[in-house]
Amino acid sequence: MKWELAHQTLVNSTSKGYGYKTVVMLKIIRVLLAVVFLLLFAFIFVDIKHVVPEKFLFYFTRFQLAPAVLSTITIGGFAVFSLIFILLLTALFGRVYCSTLCPLGTLQDVVTRIFKPKKKKRRFKYHKPNNWLRYALFAATAILLIFGSALLLNLLDPYSNFGKIFSNLVRPVYMWANNQLAAYYGNSYTVVPVEIKGFQAAAIVYSVVFLGVVGFLAAWRGRLFCNTLCPVGACLSLLSRKSLVQIHLDHEKCNSCGLCAITCKAECIDAKERKVDMSRCVGCFNCMSACKSNGVLYTIPSNGKDAKTSDSTDEKRRFILGGLIASAASLTGLKAFAEEEEHTGRGRGRGRGRGQGNRGEPVPVVREFAISPPGSQTHDHFNSKCTACHLCVTACPKQVLVPAFTEYGLMGILQPRLDYGVSFCNYECVVCSQVCPTGAIMPVNNEEKKLVQIGIAHFIRQNCVVITDKTDCGACAEHCPTQAVRMVRHRNGLFLPEVTDAICVGCGACEHACPTDPKSIYVDGNPVHKPAELPQTEAIDKEIDFDEFPF
């Protein structure tokens, strides 16, 4: 009785419509939230000074649906709260997530605004939904995730693609501008130059193409990407179509003028039939501000005249509760599946030994396995959970993380790998494991990380300058933090490097320091990360400074 009384009071108080100030306030709040989230996400992907704390990144990025789902499966904890928050928000108020929290959605709105046509021309019009396409893509994305591949989520997730755009396109421009300012001000304390390295052509091309496609769709048909290709939009539409509070048309006040449909960037308002497709509505409130007859409402639909476009309140409540229970059950099943897969150890074994070679022509470095970040556990785990948002790429202080192309295979395209030609993995650094929003890189502390073997160094005798030039070197041993690489007597007073596999962690300091081309020492990745033994000698406590070495 109390629920019915409260519901009827709310319906009676709002069914007469809204005043101008109320409509303006709703839209202002929505726009302010969208701008704040857009600017925050933009900054964390171009943060070249690393001023944003890892803890903030850990919590903030989990208010995106895909990271929240994947992190709930792999880690739990705060991710469960954020996932429930997003689902409840949608079940109560519709897809306001898409118009406020999603940075790619706001970016599309910016493009739509920029390419706004003349006022006299109709902006949008109602289109029937392409349900077969959006739900087929959503089903395919979910099935691939269940069977251990994040490929479609990698290619279609809005948060991850926003990260790719800003990490691969905006960040290098920002770094270049910073360096220009540093040169102008003479490398002052406030403006310090940074190295621009680690950017990959494949990631840049993909980001340009994706931005072009989404930008074109936004300029042409508003939120067409969100309501046709986006798996997040499709997932939330299952709840939003029967959300508790809905945008609907008052059949008494609406005169079917079509002003609401013209401003609806989701193209979900059928003015002639006076219906709103809530599965596509993103809650931007443009329709409410455009209506001159006060006939667009954002309320709990009544059980009377407006019930034509909605179910009864009791049915909504059952739907919401059922949806949340089903979501929790499916997540539990997925987590059990993931744990079983990890327990059985699906990682491939190493199929080759060290590259040794004999005297003669240089031996090219052929890396059999990509090197995945410490904390990623196995290539299978990493490839099945990473959506290639490139947050770890941005956050890495050494810029050693770069987007892969085919190093993990086609299923792992654009997912981060360590490139020791660019830099090396700092022995004391665990930033990537602290910021990963999906659990693809599990959190590890400094002590744990120092005993994780992500790869093993291999020595190619034929390429070493000790053999080719009959001169001392030792760069690899000097920079090895665990002393897994040490120099042993060769002949004529010369020394050659020797690798102790058991204590090598695969950090790549030796490979990065090696002056030969092709390298005479390189790291091949472990598809299943292994525990390393404690170093036999005291590890280097300070950060390696390669400027001190003549090569």
pLDDT at 550: 42
Q: Is residue 198 within 8 Å of residue 401, measured between CB atoms?
A: yes
Q: What is the DSSP string of 401-422?
A: EEE-SSTT-GGGTT-EEE-TTT
CA distances from 437 to 55, 377, 389, 448 (A): 11, 16, 9, 20
3-state secondary structure of 459: strand
Q: Can you tell me the distance from the alpha carbon of 424 to that of 418, in angstroms, rounded to the nearest whole number?
A: 8
pLDDT of residue 516: 95
Strands 401-403 and 296-299, by their bridges, are unpaired
Phi, psi of 319 (to 5 degrees): -65, -45
> What residue type is assigned to position 248 of the chain?
H
Q: What is the 3-state composition of the chain as percent helix, strand, coil, each rounded to the nearest 5?
A: 50, 10, 40
- Residues paired with 496 in a beta bridge: 488
- Euclidean distance between the first and the last CA atom of the chain, given in angstroms as a whole number: 81
Which pLDDT score, from 0 to 100, does residue 314 have?
46
The predicted model scores a pTM of: 0.85
* C-alpha 235 chain-centroid distance: 17
- What pLDDT, on the 0 to 100 scale, is given for residue 429? 96
Q: Which two tokens stand for residue 204?
A: 């840049």
Spatial distance between the Cα atoms of 408 and 169, rounded to a whole number of angstroms? 23
Contact (Cβ atoms closer than 8 angstroms) between residue 248 and residue 276: yes
> If you search the block for the tokens 């890892």, which residue do you land on?
54
pLDDT along the chain (551 residues), means of 10: 42 48 85 97 95 94 96 92 96 96 97 82 86 96 94 97 98 94 78 89 97 96 96 97 92 90 95 94 93 90 51 46 46 44 38 44 91 97 96 96 95 96 95 96 95 96 93 94 93 91 96 95 97 71 48 44
* 379, 347 Cβ separation under 8 angstroms: yes
Q: Can you tell me the distance from the alpha carbon of 66 to that of 154, in angstroms, rounded to the nearest whole number?
A: 10
Q: Residue 184's pLDDT is what?
A: 85
Can you read off the two tokens belonging to residue 193?
């130059």
pLDDT at 537: 53
In eight-state DSSP terms, residue 279 is: T
